[in-house]
Each structure stands twice: as structure tokens, then as C-alpha cells.
Copies of this chain bind each other. A is one copy, B any other.
Amino acid sequence: MEPACLLTHPATGPYAAGQAGQHDRYDAVRTTSTALAAPLSPEDCQVQSMPDCSPVKWHLAHTTWFFETFLLTRFHPSYAVFHPQYRMLFNSYYNAIGAKHPRPQRGLLSRPALGEVLRYRQHADAAMHELISRLGGNDPDFDALLELGLNHEQQHQELILSDVKHMLSANPLRPVYVAPGPSALPPATPAGWTRYAGGITRIGHDGRGFGFDNEGPAHDVLLTPFYLADRLVTQHEYLAFIRDGGYKRPELWLSLGWDLVCAQGWQAPLYWERQRDDWRVFTLRGMQDLELQAPVTHVSYFEADAYARWARVRLPREAEWEHAARQLPDGALAGRANMLENGHLDARPAPVRNGSGGPVQLFGDAWEWTSSAYDAYPGFKPDAGAVGEYNGKFMCGQYVLRGGSCATPRDHIRPSYRNFFPPEARWQFSGIRLARDA
């Protein structure tokens, strides 16, 4: 699996890779999904631990459904659908496609079995390769939908990891997904600040290389001067917030956040467990001690916001974040291991750093909550057809996260990427970067 790196070659990225590249890239993305499921039993792939999560089996089928529904049945002259009811069973939320199985009941579908879903994937993969050979690089509509399908599947790869983690954490046996390895965590860099002068700057996807519709159009924004923290908040720093009564002081919290703290009894990030006077944490490698130098993850927007208020600063706006990210040198991502490459998945400080100092850990450590509600950029136009339901209809009640996490495929990370979740979501690999007015 050697995907081209978007950041280092933006103009010749995966989107423009041509037919040969498409075959390779298709295989690379598709086999990554099955590789993620490889350590899991059929039972593991069956369970849905909460309505926001989906079974791994469902992820494997739904990503296939996307290719079948939006590409194979449209472009392939002789494609035979694998099973007529899958169109409904594995539709996630596309009303234009027709009926869909209710989301909270995905875990009830013991059939098709995992093996059958893997056969479904092979069936579609064979037909997709035929299609790439016929149309790849020659039909811009096909190329665009192929790339959309692959990026869609990469999104689900991260969800597989977050959903598996949540599912395993619900089991008192505390199963292990990947074998623990040496942590070899370097000390956190000092918590410095970088100043940005503000003014008019351009953000958003400019149309070169792949981007989701919600990343564009590129447009000017006006920034007031600000500082951005050089790295993410560490578990050590977050522990100080907890010990200072962070979860007991309503004045630190948004009103809805405080309601949740009280109603759900939050006392720490998701997956942290108090054992006597200590905290331990559930990870994909099992229960562990805290890694104090590593970024805190699995915090909600409410916790990120409360931490910032406790620290007497604030969270960055998404335009501030992107403005800073665009000033990193091209090689900023070059040294990053890919997710799962070493079987290591927990967020950790990255060694990358631009020559003149400045922020690190912008890409691939933890999704960074911004204070920006998820909405449409000026001039936003959803994609045409059913895929137009991809992003626009969720522009309400969610916040933008930036940067990608240790569970994000490396070539799925870019400065304009807008991830979004409701403010109470904690099962993603989400962390905190601070900002303040200059």
C-alpha cells in the first residue's frame, strides 16, 4: 500500500493518477479495510455498541454498496447486483436512493454473515477493476466518483477503528485489538505559542486534487491577529485540569456541556478509568497507564472548551487553524507513519517540525476541535444527485474538527479537510489545541 501523498504532490495527487494508478489505489484502499478487520472474529464484526457506531461488517458492506450504487449500476453495462436487498440494507442515509435499514438496528443483522460480506466485496472489486480498465482516466464523471468512493471508504476506515475501540471497551474482559508495542514516546515539546498577524487570507479547497464538496469553494476570510499553541494539550496537562476540579465547576462549562457532565457523570475523557488514586485508560492495545506526554484524546467539544476556559484562553476558529496549516512546508506529513503501519494506533507527539519552529502535531495525531460550527462556506454548492447528500444536510448542530488523527489514513489528510461531529461526541480520536487573541 503506497498511496501518493496529497500534501507533497497536490497537483498530481490520487485524483489525477490515471488508470494504472487507479487500479493500484483502489486495491490499496480496499485491502486496508479488510486488513483492519483481520484481527477480528465474526462476532466482533457483528456488534453495534451504540447507535452512533456501526458494526465492522456493516462498514465493510456499506463501502461496497457505495461503489455498487453510485458506480457499478450506473457505468457498468452488465453488472449483476450481488443481492437485491443490499441496496436497502446497506444504505446509510441517502434518501434519494430509497428506503434504508434503521441505523440503530444495524447490529441486529446477523445475516449476511461476515464471510458473505467478504464475497460481496470480491464481487464488486472484480467488476470495479473491469470498470477502471474501461473508463479510468477517460471519463471525468467516473474518475470523480471513483475518487469519492475511495475517500468515502477511507473515512469508514477511521470509523472502523473508533467503533471497534468503543465496542471492545464495553466488554469487561477488555480485549486487545493490536498487540502492545514499545511506546518510545519522546518528551512533549514545550508548550509555546506562534503568533499570526491576521488580515485577509484564503482558505478552502481550490479544486486541485480531491476534496469533499464541503471544503470549497476557496474564499477569503478576515482574521484578527491570534496565537496558536505549538502542540496539542497533553494527558499530563489535562490531568491538572481534572485535579483542579475541572469536572466540578459549572462556571467552566457551556450550559449544555454542564448538563451532560451532571447527567452522565463525566469525570474524565472517555476510556479513562479511575483505579484507586490513579487513572488508567482503555486503548486498542488494552488497558494501559496514561501516557502523560501524549495528547489527550476522546474528549468532547464541551471538554475541549471547558479546558480552554480553565486555561484562560480559547479554541481556534477553523479559519485560523487552516491559515496556520497552510504555512507548513510541503514535507510536513512526509515522516508520518501511516495508521496501523506499525500496529501502533494511539495518538502521540510527532517529530515533524518546520525549520523555523512553529506548531507541530497539526496532522495525524488527533482531530482538533475548533470553535467553528459546521456550516456552508460562501458560495457552497452540494454535489449534484444523491451524493449531494454527503455533507450539506448535516450542517446543523455540529462543530468542525481539523487535522486528522492517528487513525486517519495518511493520504486522507489535507489542510482543507473539514471533519465534523456533535459537541457531545467522544468516541473519535479528538483532542485539543489552544488559541488566544493577540
Contacts and interface: CB of A to CB of B under 8 A. Distances in A.
Given A111-B175, A172-B101, A396-B423, A437 B379 contact: yes
A378 B172 contact: no
Contacts of A301: 396
Contact of A96 (B41, B112, B251, B255): B251
A215 to B, nearest CB: 17
A255 B398 CA distance: 12
A44 B85 CA distance: 19
B394 A172 contact: no
Q: How many copies does the complex hold?
A: 4
A83 to B, nearest CB: 8
A48 to B, nearest CB: 9
A88 B171 CA distance: 12
A375 B371 contact: yes
Contact of A111 (B101, B112, B173, B219): B173
A108 B173 contact: no
A78 interface: no
A80 interface: no
A172 B250 CA distance: 23
Contacts of A96: 251
A429 B319 CA distance: 34
A252 B220 CA distance: 28
A423 B397 contact: yes
Contacts of A46: 42-43, 46-47, 110
Contacts of A93: 255
Given A96-B251, A371-B375, A373-B375, A110 B47 contact: yes
Contacts of A423: 396-397
Interface string A28-46: 0000000000000111111
A14 B423 CA distance: 39
A401 to B, nearest CB: 15
A191 interface: no
A197 interface: no
Contact of A114 (B43, B101, B224, B393): B43
Contact of A396 (B173, B254, B372, B389): B254
Interface residues of A, number: 65
A417 interface: no
A414 to B, nearest CB: 24
A256 B101 CA distance: 18
A42 B170 CA distance: 19
Nearest to A225: B378
B167 A255 contact: no
A336 to B, nearest CB: 31
Interface in A182-232: 200, 219-222, 224
A269 interface: no
A108 B49 contact: yes
A170 to B, nearest CB: 4
Contact of A250 (B43, B95, B110, B302): B95
Contacts of A47: 46, 107-108, 110
A376 interface: yes
Nearest to A255: B393
B85 A254 contact: no
Interface string A110-126: 11111000000000000
A253 interface: yes
Contacts of A49: 108
Interface string A96-138: 1000010001011111111000000000000000000000000
A415 interface: no
Nearest to A314: B376
Contact of A44 (B110, B250, B376): B110
Contacts of A242: none
Closest 4 CB pairs of A and B: A373-B373, A222-B222, A43-B110, A95-B250
6 contacts: A43-B111, A85-B173, A95-B258, A253-B393, A254-B395, A373-B373
